[in-house]
């Protein structure tokens, strides 16, 4: 069989990428609830629902009133994205980034394992400290490790440079809900950095990447 042979079409399915997006987004807008979110955040919520296949995701979604404008302005000014997981970085559609922005993850930095031992924390958390000098004005996206989000908040409360916006959606059963609650409290009580989070256990690298891809530009 030639590599270039198209297989016999046996199923009836949409094959045009932009038509799939359009119909998906229309379905989501029919089924999901957005009235509790800032108006300019609807497209972010739609894309996050799209990436998870779950319209009830928006029930747990919390988006700060200035999150979209702060993140978009930062990216348009060339700010880097700082993340805790290579999967998040891999999920960022580079063509959507307005300034070919850097997407930084220090998890595989050769210094990270030793630093994690020294700091008595996870590699995901320690890796963020290696990027401390890149935090100022950045968009930080935590999509995997609750410990990384706790660590980020502790760095900021200690006076680390301030990101322009935080997408905090670690996933899981141990510390995830608690770390996201801490993000909401810290942002409300003191630091006032625009943020996005998903309450509870849901989250993950795909969700973080979906949010970043929506924040990167207005166009759906």
Residues at the site binding its own copies, with contacts judged by CB under 8 A: 1, 3-11, 13-17, 20, 23-24, 27-28, 50-54, 86-87, 89-91, 115, 118-123, 125, 129-130, 132-133, 146-147, 150-151, 153-155, 157-160, 171-176, 178-179, 182, 200-206, 209
Nearer to its own copies, 143 or 194 (CB): 143
As a whole number of angstroms, the distance between CA 81 and CA 188 comes to 23
| CB closer to its own copies out of 70 and 97 | 97
Six-digit token string for 132: 């401390």
Q: Which helix (H) or strand (E) holds 103?
A: strand 103-104
**37-76 per-residue burial string, b: 16 or more CB within 10 A, e: under 16:** bbeebbbbbbbbbbbbebbebbebbbbbebbbbbbbebbe
Least distance in angstroms from the C-beta of 179 to its own copies: 7
138 and 117 Cβ atoms separated by less than 8 Å: no
Whole-number minimum distance, CB 77 to its own copies, in Å?
A: 24
Catalytic residue (choose from 16, 36, 50, 86): 50
Instruction: State which residue, 21 or 77, has the beta carbon closest to its own copies.
Output: 21
The nearest distance, CB 58 to its own copies, in angstroms, is 14
Contacts of 126 (CB under 8 A, 6+ apart): 112, 115, 116, 118, 119, 151
Element spanning 142, H or E = strand 139-142
CA distance 120 to 118: 6
CB of 35 to its own copies, least distance (A): 20
Active site residue 86: no
Cβ-based nearer residue to its own copies, 73 or 102: 102
- Which residues are designated catalytic? 50
């Amino acid at each position: 069989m030639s590599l270039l042979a198209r297989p016999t079409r046996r199923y009836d399915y949409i094959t045009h990428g932009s038509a799939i997006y359009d119909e998906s987004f229309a379905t989501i807008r029919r089924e999901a609830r957005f009235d509790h979110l800032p108006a300019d955040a609807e497209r972010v919520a739609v894309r996050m629902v799209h990436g998870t296949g779950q319209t009830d995701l928006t029930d747990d979604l919390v988006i700060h009133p200035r999150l979209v404008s702060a993140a978009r302005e930062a990216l348009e000014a060339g700010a880097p994205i700082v993340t805790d997981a290579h999967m998040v970085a891999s999920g960022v559609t580079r063509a959507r980034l307005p300034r070919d922005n850097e997407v930084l993850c220090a998890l595989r930095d050769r210094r990270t394992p030793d630093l994690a031992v020294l700091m008595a924390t996870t590699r995901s958390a320690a890796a963020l400290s290696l990027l401390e000098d890149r935090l100022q004005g950045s968009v930080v996206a935590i999509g995997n490790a609750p410990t990384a989000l706790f660590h980020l908040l502790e760095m900021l409360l200690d006076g680390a440079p301030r990101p322009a916006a935080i997408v905090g959606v670690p996933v899981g059963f141990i510390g995830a809900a608690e770390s996201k609650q801490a993000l909401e409290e810290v942002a409300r009580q003191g630091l006032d950095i625009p943020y996005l989070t998903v309450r509870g256990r849901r989250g993950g690298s795909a969700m973080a990447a979906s949010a970043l891809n929506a924040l990167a530009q207005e166009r759906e």
